Amino acid sequence: MTLPKSVKIVEVGPRDGLQNEKALVASPIKAELIERLAAAGCRHIEATSFVSPQKIPQLADAAEVMKKIRRAPGVVYSALTPNLKGFDAAIAAGADEVAVFAAASETFSRKNINCSIDESLERFEPVLAAARQAGVRTRAYVSCALGCPYEGEIAPAAVALVAKKLFDMGCYEISLGDTIGIGTPPATKKMIAAVAEKIPLENLAGHFHDTYGMAAANVWVALEMGMAIFDSSVGGLGGCPFALGAAGNLATEDLVWLLSGSGVETGLDLQRLVDCGNWISAALGREPASRVARALKKG
């Protein structure tokens, strides 16, 4: 078995993590979280979302947060943008990169972004055109890649179809989202194999929520298949308000523990990450969901 020598980690805590918090988190705390993540070695940070404030009130301060961040050199600060309005606002606020987000489930697409899958792809066309013109790279998500909170099982072929369309439209990286964290290693393997028939593996990322505690196992399967980009969330923060009951992403601390323990480089400093996860969890009034953070606290 040959594992990748190094892995790119996309830290999604400030966006995917905080979007699910009911109590409003102050903008300076959000900016400090992003700064602490950069100080721990994160080079790709999804900082916020430029979405409808009615849908995600927590991230209504996106522009303010972007403005507040004291930027570290070499760090890409990205933002989620569902449409051209979001894209324009993200670029005006200084986002280095943007991400569009589609789904492999029609029902989830409607609930999350109020349109069908095909309509969402049409909406992304002008975003991609504007991004090309501005020299900004666009990432894409495919939600419900391993199951949908409304439709249940999702066929790997359906995931592959949407992923391929997004890739052909010009998205350079396609993040496969197990939105509700329901996937198991065999299902993950099948889904990645179906997508990898259409898109090179090096353009694929794994985005595993950890609802059922399977995220690390799913990362392992993906790693064995040669995938080398993973999304994670410090402290295991997060979820999606349109996927009730879904837990946060795999904790970045746990991902780094898994990878460094397997001889795979991440460029991240585990202790600083743990400190960051403990700090934001305390600010939110809870223990970190990261098992590694809890173990190191006791030890």
Stretch that binds ligand HMG, among 31-39, 46-54, 128-136, 153-161 (CB under 6 A): 46-54
- 16 touches Mg ion (CB under 5 A): yes
- 19 touches ligand HMG (CB under 6 A): yes
Residue 139 interacting partner from ligand HMG, Mg ion, none (CB closer than 5 to 8 Å by kind): none
- 51 touches ligand HMG (CB under 6 A): yes
State the number of CA atoms in the 13 A half-sphere of 263 facing the CB. 5
Residues 222-281 that bind Mg ion (CB under 5 A): none
Q: How many CB atoms sit inside 10 A of residue 60's CB?
A: 17
Size of the site for ligand HMG (CB under 6 A): 25
Tell which residue, 109, 79, 77, has the closest CA to residue 179: 109
Q: Between residues 72 and 161, which has the closer beta carbon with respect to ligand HMG?
A: 161
Structure tokens at 288: 């970190």
Q: How many CB atoms sit inside 10 A of residue 43's CB?
A: 17
Place of tokens 């570290």: 72
Query: Among 112, 252, 278, 290, which residue sits at the site for ligand HMG (rule: CB under 6 A)?
Result: 112
- 257 touches ligand HMG (CB under 6 A): no
- 85 touches ligand HMG (CB under 6 A): yes
Residue 38 interacting partner from Mg ion, ligand HMG, none (CB closer than 5 to 8 Å by kind): none
Q: How many CB atoms sit inside 10 A of residue 283's CB?
A: 15
Query: Among 4, 41, 82, 236, which residue sits at the site for ligand HMG (rule: CB under 6 A)?
Result: 82
Query: Among 18, 40, 56, 187, which residue sits at the site for ligand HMG (rule: CB under 6 A)?
Result: 56
Sign of CA dihedral 274, 259, 234, 147: negative
144 counts as catalytic: no
Q: Which residue is nearest to ligand HMG (CB)?
A: 177
DSSP code of residue 146:
T
Place of tokens 């700064």: 35
Sequence-distant contacts of 94-97: CB under 8 A, at least 24 apart = 94/66, 94/67, 95/47, 95/50, 95/66, 95/136, 96/136, 97/136, 97/137, 97/138, 97/139
User: Which residues are identified as catalytic?
Assistant: 240
Can you give the binding site for ligand HMG, defined by CB under 6 A? 16, 19, 49-52, 55-56, 80, 82-83, 85-86, 101, 112-114, 141, 143, 177, 179, 207, 209, 240, 242
